[in-house]
Amino acid sequence: MATFRYKGRNSRGEAVAGAMEAATIDAVANHLFNLGITPIDIDDAPPKPESVWMREIGHRRIELTDLILFCRQMYTLFKAGVPIMQALKGLRESTHNRALAAVIGQINEALDAGFDLTAAVKRHPKVFSTLFVSLIQIGETSGTLDQSFLQLAGYLEREQETQQRIKSATRYPLFVIIALVIATFVINMFVIPAFAHVYTGLHAKLPLATRILMATSRFTVAYWYDVVAVLVIVAFAIRAYARTPGGRYRWHHWRLHLPVVGSIFSRALLGRFARALAITIKSGVPLIQGLTVISRAVDNDYVAARILQMRDGIERGESLTRTAQATALFPPLVLQMISVGEESGSIDTLMTDVAEYYEREVDYDLRNLSTAIEPLLVVAMGVLVLILALGVFLPMWDLAHAAFHHTGGI
């Protein structure tokens, strides 16, 4: 569909203007008449300034920080009774992220064209998640948009905090691993060849470890660019496979069973599920619709499939506890809380407690992640030093020992 700009007058005779997506100009005119607007002029829309902005800045990403600030500002403006069009116009002018400013401008134009806020926000799925849209829809229907934006701000803040902690906890181990890889490459390219030249000139019988190191070094020197090319190709192939539905599903399943960090991912997802379920139930979203929304909000295809399995079971008339138990995804603690919540009618409260419990667990694990990984890094460094000691310095020791006996000692 094309985008058209229009000018017209509403039923009170006031001039109105805006943009609308439609197949033809006639379709725009008919929609305007249905809205009570008499069209005066309808033309093809020129390129939007926001698109130019986004090209100039290279499509800068809209981060969680930007969305949190947007939700906080919308909550404050709605709480103060500012009309939505005026609120969006002010936010568009004050937002530093031009990509978000462009999106806000497009939402404003859609509202001006007669769309409701839910439909306007839904047109930007790469910016606003399904959970975001659903809570906006609930707030718009019930007249509590300010509370919807407040809930979204809190949810996004917890998501951002978890992501930052994961990055902080993995920064040191990644640095050590990269340093080990670089050190190994330098040793194979420059250090071992120098020792190999000395050993070859002495025509001495070398230990097995030294011969293996020298063969590895010769292979690295001769074919390092081929090895790098193969690694790059394999990395791109794995990445391409992980973007397919089947590959993404398998990667998300395997990620939950990684050593050390797999349990952290698993508990973080359980906390996200519990938090999203509490928010949707508290907001009045029907359970079946809420599970559909949550399956897209967890950002894990394996867990999403299990949540959709729960939704299908509820559609067949089964209880939430029974369907959750059938997925084999939830530990006894969560199943017990769901069961008690169903019996008492307080699932939202108990799921909030579950979310807070897992968030504390994830926080504790992330704080101690470096401590858990440190022994593995020490072992890796010890193995590297042992290989160098056996392969490089053992022949030197043998040669020195032989020379000592040859000269008769002291």
User: How do residues 267-306 score in pLDDT, each as one tens digit?
Assistant: 888 888 888 888 888 877 788 888 888 887 787 889 989 9
Residues 38 and 133 in one domain: no
Confidence at 58, pLDDT banded by 50, 70, 90: very low
Residues 38 and 105 in one domain: no
pTM metric for this prediction: 0.65
Confidence at 63, pLDDT banded by 50, 70, 90: confident
In a domain, 7, yes or no: yes
Residues 32 and 80 in one domain: no
Mean pLDDT for the chain?
A: 80
Residues 77 and 19 in one domain: no
Rounded mean pLDDT of 72-86? 89
Do the Cβ atoms of 212 and 391 come closer than 8 Å? yes
Query: 10 Å Cβ neighbour count for 409?
Result: 6
In a domain, 206, yes or no: no
pLDDT tens figures, 231-273: 999 999 999 998 898 999 999 999 888 877 788 888 888 888 8
DSSP string across 298-360: S--HHHHHHHHHHHHHHHTT--HHHHHHHTT-S-HHHHHHHHHHHHHT-HHHHHHHHHHHHHH
In a domain, 114, yes or no: yes
pLDDT at position 172, please? 77
Paired with 95 in beta bridges are none
CATH code: domain of residue 111: 1.20.81.30
Structure tokens at 269: 């997802």
Instruction: List the single range of 41-55, 161-175, 193-207, 375-389 with lowest mean pLDDT.
Output: 41-55
- Overall domain count for the chain: 3
pLDDT tens figures, 4-25: 777 777 766 667 777 666 666 7
Residues 94 and 25 in one domain: no
Q: Report the distance separating Cα 151 and Cα 125, nearest Å.
A: 19
Say whether pLDDT at 60 is over 70.
no
In a domain, 251, yes or no: no
Domain that includes residue 297, residue range: 262-367
| Single residue among 120, 136, 155 that ends a domain in this structure | 155
Residues 23 and 111 in one domain: no
Residues 40 and 87 in one domain: no
In a domain, 76, yes or no: yes
In a domain, 307, yes or no: yes
In a domain, 271, yes or no: yes
Residues 39 and 96 in one domain: no
DSSP one-letter code for 48: P
pLDDT tens figures, 127-165: 888 778 877 877 887 777 888 898 888 888 888 887 787
| Single residue among 103, 137, 155 that ends a domain in this structure | 155
Confidence at 189, pLDDT banded by 50, 70, 90: confident
Residues 267 and 363 in one domain: yes
| Single residue among 155, 174, 194 that ends a domain in this structure | 155
DSSP one-letter code for 283: T
Residues 278 and 357 in one domain: yes
Residues 286 and 337 in one domain: yes
In a domain, 126, yes or no: yes
* Percentage with pLDDT > 90 across the chain: 11
pLDDT at position 78, please? 87
Name the residue type at position 212. Answer: I
Alpha-carbon 407 to chain mean position: 68
Phi (first) and psi of residue 320, to 5 degrees: -65, -40
pLDDT at position 98, please? 87
pLDDT at position 408, please? 52
pLDDT at position 31, please? 72
